Structure 1
Amino acid sequence: MMRRQTLRRLWLCGLLAYLGVIALASLLPPPELPLSPGGFDKLWHAGAYAAAAFACVPLWRRWPSLLLAGLALVAYGLLMEVLQGWSGQRSYDLMDALANSSGVAFGLLAGCSGLRGVLAAQHI
């Protein structure tokens, strides 16, 4: 059986890889994206950041650490929006930043609800 520390490192690497995918989706020029968000752009933003926040729950179980992870994700979402504005190919959108932040809040709340026990059972 995998040691807890090894599993934790793999989970963290997966989270970092997922954040890399978010960066690519945020910064690639629109024609190069494989999927078009259609009319659900804000939902895609919120969902992507909710999943990232949800994945933080097994890594940082205590509220102060989890809150710090959530704030880091909000800052990451803001950074992605600022970089989009600087790219010249995409634009900064305050509503996207708000969707990112609301996704973080939703993901943390979902992870700390009854689902927290399921995540904790993974012993990460």
Structure 2
Amino acid sequence: MRLNPTKITHYWRAAGWFGVGLIIYLSLTPSPPQINIDNGDKLGHFAAYGLVTLWFAQLYTGLRQRIGLVIGMVGLGIAMEYAQGTTDYRSFEVADMVADAIGACLGWIAAPPRLPSLLSWAKKHLSKC
């Protein structure tokens, strides 16, 4: 089955939005998964926001688009902390917002052209199948 490069882009975008939805779910669930190391939750914040930013940066390659992406991801992190603060089972933590912001910024910094474009690779190889 041969995949059209446009469809690959749509699937890529959908997977990115799934990642955003997963961040929202994990931010608001009463029992998020635990990373059993010191500051494991901060590592989780850093990794989640970095990966989703890197993922979307494969689609949005212009400087303005990427600035908007990072601002959006940092804003999401801030919003999730405030939302957690309104629950009786989660807590507001500035350190989590910092971890989110650092992850988003490093995801942007690592994005192509610094790292290879996985989206370009997928379009090239999956459209030949």
User: Scaled by the length of structure 1, what TM-score is found?
Assistant: 0.87
- How far apart, in 2, do the equivalents of 1:61 and 1:113 lie? 9
Who is 1:65 aligned against? 65
> 4+ residue runs of structure 1 moved beyond 3 angstroms?
116-124
Alignment of 1:97-108 (within 5 A): 97-108=97-108
Is the 8 Å Cα contact of residues 57 and 119 (structure 1) preserved in structure 2? no
**Which shows bigger deviation, 45-54 or 106-115?**
106-115
Secondary structure in structure 1 of the residue aligned to 2:3: coil
2:14 is matched with which residue?
13
TM-superposed deviation, 1:117 = 4.6
Distance in 2 of aligned mates of 1:24 and 1:37: 17
Select the structure of larger CA radius of gyration: 2
TM-score by length of 2: 0.84
Contact 2:12 2:119 in 1 (8 A): no
Deviation for aligned residue 1:37: 2.4
SS at match of 1:87: coil
Q: Which residue of 2 aligns with 1:85?
A: 85
Task: Return the letter of the residue paired with 2:26.
Answer: A
- Post-superposition Cα deviations, 1:48-97, rounded to whole Å, max 9, x if no partner, equal 10001110121101111111111111111111111100112111101100
* Structure 2 unaligned spans of 5+: 125-129
Q: Cα RMSD (Å) of the superposition?
A: 1.8
> In 1, Cα distance between the equivalents of 2:116 and 2:72?
20
Structure 1 unaligned runs (5+)? none
Q: Sequence identity, in percent?
A: 23
